[in-house]
Amino acid sequence: MKANQTVKVNHKELVKWVLDMAKMCNPDRIVWIDGSQKQKKELEREAFKTGELIQLNQKLLPGCIYHRTAVNDVARTEHLTFICTPDKEEAGPTNNWMSPEEGYARAGAIFKNSMIGRTMYVIPFSMGPINSEFSKIGVELTDSIYVVLNMLIMTRAGDKVLRFLGEKGQFTKCLHGKAERDINKRLILHFPNDNTIWSVGSGYGGNVLLGKKCLSLRIASFLGKHEGWLAEHMLIIGIEDKSGKTTYIAAAFPSACGKTNLAMLIPPEGLKKKGYKVWTVGDDIAWMRVKQDGSLWAINPESGFFGVLPGTNTKTNANAIATMQRNTIYTNVLLKEDGTVWWEGADGPVPERGVDWTGKPWTPYLKDENGAPVKGANPNSRFTAPIKQCPTASPLLDSPEGVPISALVFGGRRARLAPLIYESFNWQHGVFTGSIMASEITAAQYGAQGTVRRDPMAMIPFCGYNMGDYFAHWLKIGKELKNKPGIFHVNWFRTDADGRFLWPGFGDNLRVLEWIIKRCDGQVNAQKTPIGYVPLKEDIDLEGLEIDKKDMEELLKVDKSEWKSEVEDIKNFYDKFGTRMPAELLEELDALKKRLEQPDN
Ligand code: GTP
Ligand code: SPV
Ligand code: MN
């Protein structure tokens, strides 16, 4: 086994772990990732040679590359994702559980000799700006160049991290191997007590970019509980008004429910004269702490976007399109003859031909066995691009302090029930509001799409410990906050009887954020309903938007009978947590039930 030596690694525990893992996986070579352009280019060249990656048209898309994952490996596989703690209770009823012994043994058998003939790359990375009190260090071992190149965009990686780690710094041990990429030999395992992640048998984003969901949510939520902070599936956006004041909002929506789009929204025509500027801090993950000033501060631990492509175009998200014109990795989209890419809902005409995400020749006229059009891009195809390339990238991306959060927003994809926007009565009621979230399943995970599942705080796939304890942790954080952010709930996805979205969404969502900011500043009144405060009609600025009055009424409607049956569903969900369910939330559910039974006045 040969190894390159970039900087001298003085961290004995790190070196021992790398060698132990190499002994198990048996790679031909070990290569330490230094973070240099030179090494990155070498790796790209190697992957172009083997066909792992395809170089795109360098005139039209400079620095851009293309990758296909295996056909059975296109989304997170939640049923193969486990929390491995000695006690099953620690993982709770919403996680898959395995004992650490079984986890190491089962995954170890798949890892064994799986890297023969391959290279093991060692990627030291930081989630968050190196040197910030928020940040955490990880080291990922992987046999995939695709993973290395993604991690170089998504995290701060290379020698600078090793130098920061020094001789004894703490880090999360992240081991990834593609193995045979066989769904029957795939496991994504988290060992919170060992600060360790083992992922084997996949090559897809959220399963293998271990800094992302595995470290920054599952392991980080566990660390956050013990260290007193929050790791959340949230975007972070700053809205600057004419006076130069910026209000920061963090929002949790489930996968493929609009975080990336909201994080980089473009103000709609009708609101332009108000002079708002949008600043994108993050599109997927927020780490938040109560600081000495009694406020909640947040960083985005990532340095890149791993965003959904279908439906993304200059009309829906011009900032995303601008971001991905260079230095971007395109995964599972249609490859066009001119060496550029396309996906359903992209700009411009539908190409006459290309090679689809599975590697087959494609035309728009192809039909599958059910007569439905064959898609050129996978519904969960994605781009990986540096946040700094986003035209609205916040100047505070590298600030070790983070940004102060004025409002927290929860939201799901609900055709019915949840109104466009409502505000919680207070922090405890806000935690309740987050805990009763539900959303339709999307293509971002393997499973039955469209069915509604309960997804508290958009964290159901990502909470690394018992969610009953997680709710209690949220309540505790509230007690520490002197300046509590307002807590809101939005739903961009309410439809009419024909399945048409009632709300235009995208840039127009600023109209709703504006109301949130006004509520935080105490500028407008609201109407009290059993579920929370909803806006008075005149307080949502609809200038320049043609929306039917009836649609608007429907969007803000709270249907008591629908909510009454929802209460029953919530009760069943809460019951799963037994005695771990905080009494405060059971009281909130009871109070909601009572409010729904009161006659209208
Ligand atoms: P993850 O990266 O999976 O965590 O997802 P995300 O929450 O960042 O989702 P994203 O912003 O990529 O949106 C996913 C899908 O929702 C895309 O198909 C969008 O076109 C669609 N979408 C986003 N915002 C809106 C909106 O305001 N209204 C409607 N109708 N669709 C939206
Ligand atoms: C999600 O599924 O919520 C994502 C994409 O953001 S992944 O990295 O695959 O988790
Ligand atoms: Mn996500």
Determine the 3-state secondary structure of 262 from DSSP. helix
Q: Ligand 2: which atom is nearest the Cα of residue 207? A: 9
Ligand 1 lined by 380 (C-beta under 6 Å) = no
pLDDT at site 446: 74
Q: Ligand 2: which atom is nearest the Cα of residue 461? A: 3
Q: Ligand 2: which atom is nearest the Cα of residue 76? A: 9
Per-residue pLDDT at 507 exceeds 90: yes
Q: How far apart are CA 182 and CA 571, in angstroms?
A: 38
Model confidence pLDDT, tens digit, residues 200-212: 999 999 999 999 9
Ligand 2 lined by 208 (C-beta under 6 Å) = no
Percent of the chain, pLDDT > 70?
Answer: 98
Model confidence pLDDT, tens digit, residues 143-159: 999 999 999 999 999 99
Half-sphere exposure of 125 (CA within 13 A, CB side): 34
> What separation in Å is there between the alpha carbon of 44 and the centre of ligand 1?
30
Task: Report the chain's mean pLDDT, rounded to a whole number.
Answer: 96
Ligand 1 lined by 284 (C-beta under 6 Å) = yes
Ligand 2 lined by 284 (C-beta under 6 Å) = yes
Model confidence pLDDT, tens digit, residues 429-482: 999 999 999 998 877 777 767 788 999 999 999 999 999 999 999 999 999 999
Per-residue pLDDT at 50 exceeds 70: yes
Say which ligand is closest to the CA of 331.
2
Residue 158 carries which DSSP code? S
Residue 128 carries which DSSP code? S
Q: Ligand 1: which atom is nearest the Cα of residue 235? A: 8
> What separation in Å is there between the alpha carbon of 446 and the centre of ligand 1?
17
Q: How far apart are CA 574 and CA 456, in angstroms?
A: 11
Ligand 1 lined by 232 (C-beta under 6 Å) = no
Model confidence pLDDT, tens digit, residues 99-152: 999 999 999 999 999 999 999 999 999 999 998 999 999 999 999 999 999 999
- Measured over the CA atoms of residue 511, residue 516, residue 521 and residue 522, the dihedral's sign is positive
Distances 591 to 423, 479, 597, 600 between C-alpha atoms, Å: 16, 21, 10, 16
pLDDT at site 1: 55
Q: How far apart are CA 142 and CA 592, in angstroms?
A: 49
Across 533-540, average pLDDT: 96
Return the biggest CA–CA distance within the chain.
78
Across 289-297, average pLDDT: 98
> What separation in Å is there between the alpha carbon of 564 and the centre of ligand 3?
30
* Catalytic residue IDs: 257
> What separation in Å is there between the alpha carbon of 213 and the centre of ligand 3?
8
pLDDT at site 452: 86
Q: How far apart are CA 491 and CA 418, in angstroms?
A: 6
Check if the beta carbon of residue 138 is closer than 8 Å to that of residue 174: yes
Which domains occur in the chain, in start order? 2-32+77-227 (3.40.449.10), 232-303+397-558 (3.90.228.20), 305-388 (2.170.8.10)
pLDDT at site 600: 77
Distances 196 to 17, 104, 210 between C-alpha atoms, Å: 11, 11, 10
Q: How far apart are CA 425 and CA 445, in angstroms?
A: 33
Model confidence pLDDT, tens digit, residues 340-357: 999 999 999 999 999 999
> What separation in Å is there between the alpha carbon of 466 and the centre of ligand 1?
28
Check if the beta carbon of residue 63 is closer than 8 Å to that of residue 56: no
pLDDT at site 599: 87
The protein residue whose alpha carbon is closest to atom 26 in ligand 1 is: 505
Model confidence pLDDT, tens digit, residues 66-75: 999 999 999 9
Predicted TM-score of the model (pTM):
0.97
